[in-house]
Amino acid sequence: MTAAPDTDDRPTSSTDPGASDRRSGELIAGRYRLIERIGEGAMGTVYLARHEGLQRQVAVKFLQEEFTGNREIAARFAREAIAAARLQHPNVISVYDSGADELGRCYLVMEYVGAESLRTVMEREGPIPRERALALARQIAAALDHAHSLGIVHRDIKPENVLVLDVDGVECVKVIDFGIAKVFLPEGPSGPGLTRSGIVLGTPEYMAPEQAAGAEVDRRADIYALGVIAYEMLVGRRPFDSDDVMSLLMAHLNATPPPPSTVRPDLGFGPEVDEAMAKALAKSPAARPQRATELVEQLDAALHAPVVVKTPTVPVPPDEPAPEPVPPDEPAKPEPARADEGARPPALRARYGLSKSGRMLLGAAALALAGGALSMALRGDPDEAGERPTLTAPPRSPAPSSPEGAGPAGDDDLDDRIDALRDGPEFTVATARQRQAAARSLEALRAQSPNDAALAFVLGSIYARDRSTHAQALGSYGDALRLAPGLGAREALVDDVVRIFAASSAHATAAGELLRGPLAARALDPLVEVLLRGGSGRSRVAALLGEAPFSGRLDPTQRGLIALAEARSCEAKRPVVETLGREGDARALAPLRRIPIGSGCGFLGLGTCNPCLGAAVPSAIRAIEARSPDAG
């Protein structure tokens, strides 16, 4: 028998406001000590508990007592335990145990994760930047493909069932609640699957057409729901929305989802994204991607589709002689004009110090990368949603001849050199494969010219675009700053290093050294901007801003935002919020508005968010708005 200290012997209703207090301290199955109720859903109530033997926190989910006598729902709850226990994946909540207590209440013991739901994230932040949305979708897809490989269909994929947590500065996803999952098990003594055609289970906003019709569903219903989530993350709204459930179901059955490019033209989605989303949300299951990861791969390719532009080819005459070396006491001789000079980018000219083999490497890079030059407009911040890149670079005038003694390290020549490399065909870097090819070609050039600051800088900008090459980015940027300290004034370099510092603790030490050192004069505002816009790494950024040389340059609003980022509890946030209300300016509005208030926090997203800030946050926002009438 299980002990139930400080409670009476009668069953308590989980909907009773006093139920949580009466069950606190109760011991389940002789080992799970209930601590407090942390959430409640349609089918069950979730408690935070402690495993008495292992001394670790777990979550215990009880079937709602009103369903205890319902055989079908109780059997579905038991089936949840069987299905979920088979799922062993880093992006799925682990199930440890299940059973029923002495009063017949079914329970499920799960991994406890103190995180917020994807729904809370989207409501707070609106459209999610492209690279971040892809990273989240990729993890959801990995969880689904794992479940599908075991014959398990979730049937209720939605943002509320996706938890987002920070693990060493990296956003990780946990898919939860397989409570209405359909398990394709062979018919036998245990009988066929419980979920039958004609019964609609799920959430209408994310239902596949066949699911809305009450037909049999398979893994492709989950893929459709993932498509809806991806659409919502990128666009900031669902493809179909209505307060009327039947209208919503009919839209999934019959209506064409509006293309993202027409819903949010300001976000610059191209036709490739429209096509990828249309395929993900196809009415016919056969027309959709057949694996969840395939959907993300197609969307990734669409979001990074290169802009095709016709540009002059880059002639590299095979018989062109290498330039004669110039004696140090003799001024450089101007090269004779050639008929094809206007078509040749300055990057290939001998005056920049490249040998003939170096120029041929650049020509080879053009072939390896399918040719075509992209302007710098294509190199937006990969972590930010923004307008679709447009190619608006004006025709470049030939660069003036270098004065005697000037070389690539001179400011003007260095700028020309960087622009030439970026305008050249080797800088087609819209996809990961193109970036890898570009980096290989430029590394070969750098082996010939190890003191070329421009090459180091451009390599850093390429490596910075992919999380897997952030270490190389910091190394290349560090070399560039050592060779040409003036590059520390370049906004793109500073932004890249700040982004890498915030993105992962693995590179925080190396990035922090650059930010405290050669980039200190320019890094303060970009670091504070991380706190303003939210996202991962805020605590790490706040800690850096509290150190020299940044701490002495902070104003009251910046200090308040740092304190807010470092506060861990509602009680710790409250005095900071009140101080910002008294002293903060309009920059504090966005972070204050992102503080979740009300429901949607805690395990399964069913807890109350920051209950002690329900009045403090709106009061602070009103006070700042009154002082800043032009604030949006």
pLDDT per residue over 112-142, tens digit each? Answer: 987 888 998 888 888 898 999 999 999 999 9
Planar angle of CA 375, 379, 385, nearest 5 degrees: 130
Q: Which helix (H) or strand (E) holds 288?
A: none
Region of poorest pLDDT, from 66-70, 261-265, 321-325, 515-519: 321-325
Between 434 and 143, residue with greater pLDDT: 143
Q: What are the structure tokens assigned to 16, written together? A: 């009773």
Q: What residues does each domain of the chain span?
A: 19-111, 116-185+197-303
Asked if 52 and 32 touch (Cβ cutoff 8 Å), the reply is yes
Inform me whether the pLDDT recorded for 598 exceeds 70: yes
Q: Which helix (H) or strand (E) holds 307?
A: none
The residues, any chain, with a CB within 8 Å of residue 179's CB and separated by 6 or more, are 43, 44, 76, 77, 80, 156
Inform me whether the pLDDT recorded for 412 exceeds 90: no
Region of poorest pLDDT, from 249-258, 295-304, 363-372: 363-372
Mean of the pLDDT values across residues 522-548? 81
Inform me whether the pLDDT recorded for 591 exceeds 70: yes
Inform me whether the pLDDT recorded for 620 exceeds 60: yes
CATH code of the domain made up of 116-185+197-303: 1.10.510.10
> What share of the chain has pLDDT > 90, as a percent?
35
Distance between CA atoms of residues 113 and 108, nearest Å: 15
Give residue 143's identity as a one-letter amino acid code: A
Residue 162 backbone phi and psi in degrees, to 5: -125, 115
Give residue 52's identity as a one-letter amino acid code: E
- Local confidence band at 437 (pLDDT 50, 70, 90 cut-offs): confident
Region of poorest pLDDT, from 158-172, 299-313, 401-415: 401-415
* Beta strand pairing call for 607-609 and 162-167: unpaired
Region of poorest pLDDT, from 34-43, 161-170, 497-506: 34-43
Inform me whether the pLDDT recorded for 197 exceeds 50: no
pLDDT of residue 535: 59
Region of poorest pLDDT, from 190-194, 196-200, 206-210, 410-414: 190-194
pLDDT of residue 288: 96
pLDDT of residue 361: 41
DSSP state at residue 191: -
Q: What are the structure tokens assigned to 73, written together? A: 């729902």
Inform me whether the pLDDT recorded for 509 exceeds 70: yes
Inform me whether the pLDDT recorded for 396 exceeds 60: no
Q: What are the structure tokens assigned to 134, written together? A: 């892809």
Asked if 193 and 201 touch (Cβ cutoff 8 Å), the reply is no
Mean of the pLDDT values across residues 604-614? 73
Class of domain 19-111: alpha beta
Q: What is the pLDDT of residues 43-52, one digit of tens each?
A: 678 899 999 9
Using alpha carbons, select from 82, 87, 84, 103 the residue that is nearest to residue 29: 103
Instruction: Work out the number of other CB atoms within 10 angstroms of the CB of residue 140.
Output: 28
Q: What is the pLDDT of residues 285-344, one digit of tens each?
A: 999 999 999 999 999 999 987 644 333 344 444 444 444 444 444 444 444 443 333 333
156 is annotated as an active-site residue: yes
Single pTM value for the model: 0.50
pLDDT of residue 300: 93
Distance between CA atoms of residues 216 and 155, nearest Å: 11
Give residue 302's identity as a one-letter amino acid code: A
Which of these is catalytic: 145, 156, 300, 383? 156
Distances (CA, A) of 227 to 112, 235, 251, 294, 378: 27, 12, 15, 11, 26
pLDDT of residue 125: 80
Distance between CA atoms of residues 541 and 437, nearest Å: 33
- Local confidence band at 105 (pLDDT 50, 70, 90 cut-offs): confident
Distance between CA atoms of residues 106 and 78, nearest Å: 8
Q: Which helix (H) or strand (E) holds 616?
A: helix 616-627
- Local confidence band at 366 (pLDDT 50, 70, 90 cut-offs): very low
Instruction: Work out the number of other CB atoms within 10 angstroms of the CB of residue 17.
Output: 7
In the chain, how long is the greatest CA-to-CA distance? 102
pLDDT of residue 565: 80
Q: What are the structure tokens assigned to 219, written together? A: 């893994």
Distance between CA atoms of residues 293 and 285, nearest Å: 16
Mean of the pLDDT values across residues 483-495? 92
In 132-279 the beta strands, taken as DSSP E runs, fall at: 152-153, 162-167, 170-175, 182-183
For the ranges 78-92, 186-200, 346-360, 469-483, the maximum mean pLDDT occurs at 469-483
Using alpha carbons, select from 84, 62, 86 the residue that is nearest to residue 74: 62
Distance between CA atoms of residues 569 and 483, nearest Å: 46
Sign of the Cα torsion 67, 69, 72, 77 reads positive
Inform me whether the pLDDT recorded for 12 exceeds 80: no
Using alpha carbons, select from 158, 161, 157 the residue that is nearest to residue 176: 161
> What share of the chain has pLDDT > 70, as a percent?
70
